[in-house]
């Protein structure tokens, strides 16, 4: 190897994401210090944990002996209520989400419509289901109506946002080609945009059905009906075996939904 | 007759894409629009059917001032202008038939189009056109199952089923291999001749334009710098449009091997 060859060697390293070295190191060190400080503030009462282990053990043991029988009437009633709540709120939520999603897509909606629709989405996403449910239980009283409205409202925030993003990512040329044939606005949506976003819309709707079912199990804890109410009662009575049965049924249904949504989405492309 | 009168487009970024373009295209004439990337070819044809709004000037199609139309008037006028696209721009998840029938959207009501219950005359016409472009056996295939050349044929059928008075063709061969490119260009020109259609064809390939199109317009930085016959395309003209390069090899070189690929597909 000649000296010219050595001189021709040029060093290359990947450019850092944050070019300013001071800023880069400040961020790295700051993150580490914050992490250590955060862990230091977690106050663990080890004696309490030890005592709690006993109750945890009882609870887990109950799973080996779940009791579907004694409270079957309550369990099946709560379960059916949850399924109805999840299904109806998904359907209503999806129907309302479609126009809001169209309005929230910047590439097809005029600015004022866009801002209003994005506002609705932000409101829906800002308020957690539990908070909405507490409010609605206060208005409509205990029962599944409050849960149904809560889940419909939450579905709007979820689905409109993702639908709008899918519309914004669509292939512009396909929509443009349809527009060039002189269709009405609705025909344009139906031919130029709907085929592009339909698989994702269906996939997201099934996913949301799954989420709504799981949420319906939680909403019962604040009195908004469904299987959650039954579960809550079982815990209050220390009937861990019944609680275990309920949780097993919830897991089974969620898994079934997960499996079927995977099947359906695979066939949609 | 299409008349462009001082058609100008300035983008909001300040770029002047078209500057006072004056152009007259008699009925039944096909023109090729050539020019380097960014010369405004695409902007020009989109300014005619107003997929891009021109800033000033006017475009008049058979006596109707397109630039002055309100939105419902524009919708009706767009039905008279068929458009063919570079990347075919078929709706990929719709069938070939649905893509062709989408050319009739301007003529049928929402529910008919939503339920895919188009008038029998439209369906007959769609089959006739698919047969003409050699794809009638593909009617129920999904558009994304087709090859590039087949897709462009569907795009052509979609434009023609509009019964247009003018075809706007944006780089029809840019994504196709050389042989398919020629077949597509030949098909477009034949169909225009059969129907007495005028057409504006944006095209990168100068040799292909010379081969098929009787009138060539050169566009450079948004201005018309050449308007003449294919034979008048000299190296000097090409240098004027595209810049300095050795043009001898480009011009009319493929003239002699033109006849061997008559079959379609």
Residue B186: predicted pLDDT:
92
**Residues of chain B whose pLDDT is less than 50?**
254-265
**Chain B residues with CB-CB distance to A181 below 8 A:** 78-79, 83, 102-106, 158, 162
Question: Is residue B109 within 8 Å of B98, Cβ to Cβ?
Answer: no
CB contact under 8 A, A179 and B51: yes
Separation CA B133–CA B153 (nearest Å): 6
Of B56, B19, B55, B32, residue with least CA distance to B170: B32
For residue B98, the chain A residue with the least C-alpha distance is A191
Residue A17: predicted pLDDT:
87
CB contact under 8 A, B91 and A186: no
CB contact under 8 A, B106 and A182: yes
Residue B257: predicted pLDDT:
46
Which residue(s) pair with B61 in the sheet?
A: B2, B64
B2-10, strands of its sheet edge to edge: B16-25, B2-10, B56-61, B64-65
Helix or strand (DSSP H, E) at B197: none
Question: Is residue B172 within 8 Å of B203, Cβ to Cβ?
Answer: yes
> Rg of chain A over CA atoms, in angstroms?
26
- pTM for the model stands at 0.82
Question: Is residue B89 within 8 Å of B155, Cβ to Cβ?
Answer: yes
In the numeric block, which tokens belong to residue B140? 């129920």
Question: Is residue B173 within 8 Å of B145, Cβ to Cβ?
Answer: no
CB contact under 8 A, A181 and B98: no
Enumerate domains of chain B plus CATH numbers.
Answer: 2-255 (3.40.50.300)
pLDDT in tens, B61-106: 998 999 999 989 999 999 999 999 988 899 999 999 999 999 999 9
Residue B33: predicted pLDDT:
93
Separation CA A132–CA A215 (nearest Å): 12
Separation CA A230–CA A226 (nearest Å): 7
**Chain A residues with CB-CB distance to B168 below 8 A:** 180
Closest CA–CA distance from residue B79 to any residue of chain A (Å): 5
* For residues A35-39, average pLDDT: 93
CB contact under 8 A, B93 and A176: no
Q: A206: Cβ–Cβ under 8 A, 6 or more apart, which residues? A: A257, A260, A261, A264, A265
Question: How many Cβ atoms sit within 10 Å of the Cβ of residue A127?
Answer: 16
For residue A189, the chain B residue with the least C-alpha distance is B114
Q: How many CA atoms lie within 13 A of A268 on its CB side?
A: 17
CB contact under 8 A, A191 and B89: no
Q: B156: Cβ–Cβ under 8 A, 6 or more apart, which residues? A: B84, B133, B184, B187, B188, B191
B32 secondary structure, DSSP code? E
Which of A110-114, A119-123, B176-180 has the weakest average pLDDT? B176-180
Of B160, B150, B159, B164, residue with least CA distance to B264: B150
CB contact under 8 A, B114 and A190: yes
| pLDDT surpassing 70 at residue A215 | yes
Q: A166: Cβ–Cβ under 8 A, 6 or more apart, which residues? A: A196, A197, A200, A201
In the numeric block, which tokens belong to residue A242? 């019944």
> Which of A175, A178, A179, A182 best tests the B interface by mutation, with the highest count of B CBs <10 A?
A182
> Which of B81, B91, B116, B145 best tests the A interface by mutation, with the highest count of A CBs <10 A?
B91
Enumerate domains of chain A plus CATH numbers.
Answer: 69-268 (1.10.3720.10)
Residue B217's SS3 state is strand
Of A211, A93, A222, A218, residue with least CA distance to A160: A93
Residue B261: predicted pLDDT:
46
Q: B127: Cβ–Cβ under 8 A, 6 or more apart, which residues? A: B136, B139
Residue B252: predicted pLDDT:
60
CB contact under 8 A, A190 and B113: yes
| pLDDT surpassing 90 at residue A6 | no
Residues of B with CB under 8 A from a CB of A: 49, 51, 74-79, 81, 83, 85-87, 89-94, 98, 102-106, 110, 113-114, 155, 158, 162, 168
pLDDT in tens, A138-154: 998 888 899 999 999 99
Q: A141, exposed or middle or buried, with CB in 10 Å at 0-12, 13-18, 19+?
A: exposed
Q: Measured at the alpha carbon of residue B56, what is the angle toward residues B54 and B59, in degrees to the nearest 5?
A: 70
Residue A254: predicted pLDDT:
86
Residue A152's SS3 state is helix
| ipTM confidence | 0.88
CB contact under 8 A, A195 and B162: no
Question: Is residue B67 within 8 Å of B57, Cβ to Cβ?
Answer: yes
pLDDT in tens, A66-108: 888 888 888 889 889 999 999 999 999 999 999 999 999 999 9
**Cα separations in angstroms, B234 against A127, A138, B205, B213, B226:** 70, 83, 15, 16, 11
């Amino acid at each position: 190897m000649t000296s010219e060859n050595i001189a021709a060697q040029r060093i290359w390293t990947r450019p850092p994401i944050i070019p300013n070295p001071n800023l880069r190191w400040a961020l790295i060190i700051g993150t580490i210090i914050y992490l250590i400080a955060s862990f230091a503030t977690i106050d663990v009462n080890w004696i309490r944990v030890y005592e709690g282990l006993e109750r945890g053990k009882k609870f887990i043991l109950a799973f080996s002996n779940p009791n579907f029988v004694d409270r079957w009437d309550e369990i099946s009633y709560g379960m059916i209520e949850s399924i109805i709540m999840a299904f109806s709120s998904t359907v209503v939520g999806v129907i309302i989400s479609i126009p809001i999603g169209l309005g929230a897509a910047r590439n097809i909606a005029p600015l004022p419509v866009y801002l209003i629709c994005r506002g609705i989405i932000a409101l829906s996403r800002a308020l957690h289901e539990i908070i909405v449910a507490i409010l609605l239980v206060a208005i409509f009283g205990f029962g599944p109506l409050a849960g149904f409205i809560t889940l419909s409202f939450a579905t709007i925030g979820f689905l409109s946002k993702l639908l709008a993003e899918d519309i914004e990512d669509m292939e512009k040329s396909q929509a443009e080609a349809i527009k060039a044939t002189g269709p009405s606005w609705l025909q344009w949506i139906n031919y130029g945009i709907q085929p592009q976003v339909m698989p994702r819309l269906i996939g997201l709707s099934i996913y949301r059905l799954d989420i709504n079912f799981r949420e319906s199990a939680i909403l019962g804890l604040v009195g908004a009906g469904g299987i959650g109410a039954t579960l809550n009662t079982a815990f209050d009575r220390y009937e861990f075996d019944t609680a275990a049965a309920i949780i097993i049924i919830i897991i089974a249904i969620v898994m079934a939904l997960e499996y079927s949504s995977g099947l359906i989405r695979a066939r949609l492309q | 007759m299409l008349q462009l009168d001082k058609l100008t487009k300035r983008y909001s970024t300040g770029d002047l894409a078209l500057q006072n373009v004056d152009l007259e295209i008699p009925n039944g004439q096909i023109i090729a629009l050539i020019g380097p990337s960014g010369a405004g070819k695409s902007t020009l044809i989109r300014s005619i059917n107003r997929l891009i709004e021109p800033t000033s000037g006017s475009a008049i199609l058979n006596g109707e001032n397109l630039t002055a139309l309100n939105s419902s008037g524009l919708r009706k006028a767009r039905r008279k202008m068929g458009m063919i696209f570079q990347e075919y721009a078929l709706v990929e998840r719709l069938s070939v038939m649905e893509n062709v029938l989408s050319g009739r959207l301007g003529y049928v009501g929402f529910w008919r189009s939503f339920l895919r219950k188009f008038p029998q005359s439209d369906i007959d016409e769609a089959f006739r056109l698919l047969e003409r472009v050699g794809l009638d056996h593909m009617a129920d295939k999904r558009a994304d199952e087709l090859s590039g050349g087949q897709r462009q044929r569907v795009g052509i059928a979609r434009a023609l089923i509009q019964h247009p008075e003018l075809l706007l063709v944006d780089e029809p061969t840019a994504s196709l291999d050389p042989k398919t490119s020629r077949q597509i260009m030949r098909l477009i020109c034949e169909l225009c001749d059969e129907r007495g259609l005028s057409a504006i064809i944006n095209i990168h390939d100068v040799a292909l334009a010379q081969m098929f199109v009787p009138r060539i317009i050169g566009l450079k930085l948004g201005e018309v710098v050449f308007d003449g016959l294919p034979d008048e395309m000299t190296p000097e003209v090409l240098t004027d449009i595209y810049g300095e390069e050795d043009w001898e090899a480009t011009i009319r070189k493929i003239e002699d091997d033109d006849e061997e690929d008559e079959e379609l597909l």
